[in-house]
Structure 1
């Protein structure tokens, strides 16, 4: 089980097949999936078979295609060694809106955490660490993220980690309004210099 990065309170590690049940339990809460599936499927739990036969194989392909760079990682709380969701950091074109929303070199940031850890700063902590690693170690030029405009908690996280509002857009299938946020390496480096 390979560790991708560590923060003060989190370990982000590669998924294994043993994690299928953890992912299934995470997606069983309709509040967790409320903003992740659009239209009629909003709030609908992901089936165990979908996780095992579609989601995890896609995750494992990332590890093969982009070793040490991009993918989905299980988030473990260091203190309790408990699974508290996942983070992703992947080519934006691989995302749901892909070529409609992102450019070729955009790297998309995202996460999914259970309600029991909401409000504890884990989403911000993990996202900040990924942004920093992306710009300082992986040579990324631009990080992007998107959310439904009504998902105020995720929008706050994007803003806390330095991403800036770029534009509104409409999800074609559901006609729901989304927001796109971005952060360029140049702006990140300027902000880092100001902190010193």
Structure 2
């Protein structure tokens, strides 16, 4: 079942299927993922299944949302996008990562815009934040296009590298 659909994309929960595990393995081992998000230590299909189970699937059960598989209308996986709860942040965080072949096609903006709308309209979130490496100018521009603005530099628990906190806040009536 698809949670969100756009003209070109479908978003659904990740499963422990071979397809989702292989896709996740490729995504989290992309050099840009390592550079801007981090090395998750996922090196095998079994690692990828555990990563999905302990990350996105656990978040679906706990919070009712998480990272979703983003695929073209024909089922081709292109990335992940979703909302997560992260240690060290008070607010729900939007995240996204796309395979290199599908960057620069507008898919990240299309998926993230739909996720933002879903968070605002369906989940009734009044604030959504994002964390981003200061070197990741493409993601910063995308977050700004989504309406998030730089708030401050932060360091998450267990990390020593400062990152940018960007946020969107619902307007008071």
Please, what TM-score do these two structures have when normalized by structure 1? 0.78
The aligned counterpart of 2:16 is 17
Distance 1:150 1:138, change over 3 A: same
Which 4+ runs in 1 deviate beyond 4 A?
Answer: 171-174
Q: Secondary structure at the match of 1:129?
A: helix
Map of 1:193 onto structure 2 = none
Structure 1: gaps of 5 or more residues: 191-196
Structure with the greater alpha carbon radius of gyration:
1
Q: Which runs of 5+ in 2 are unaligned?
A: none
Alignment of 1:85-104 (within 5 A): 85-91=79-85, 95=86, 98-99=87-88, 102-103=89-90
The answer for the alignment partner of 1:61 in structure 2 is 58
CA distance in 2, matches of 1:170, 1:60: 26
* Aligned match for 1:109, one of 94, 97, 116: 94
Q: Count residues with an aligned counterpart.
A: 170
Question: Is 1:47 matched up with 2:48?
Answer: no
Output aligned runs, 1:43-192, within 5 Å.
Answer: 46-48=42-44, 49-67=46-64, 70-78=65-73, 80-91=74-85, 95=86, 98-99=87-88, 102-103=89-90, 106-170=91-155, 175-186=160-171
Displacement of 1:27: 2.3
Cα RMSD after superposing both structures: 2.1
What whole-Å deviation, never above 9, does each CA across 1:116-170 have from its counterpart, x for those lacking one? 0111111111111111111122111100001110011111110010001101224
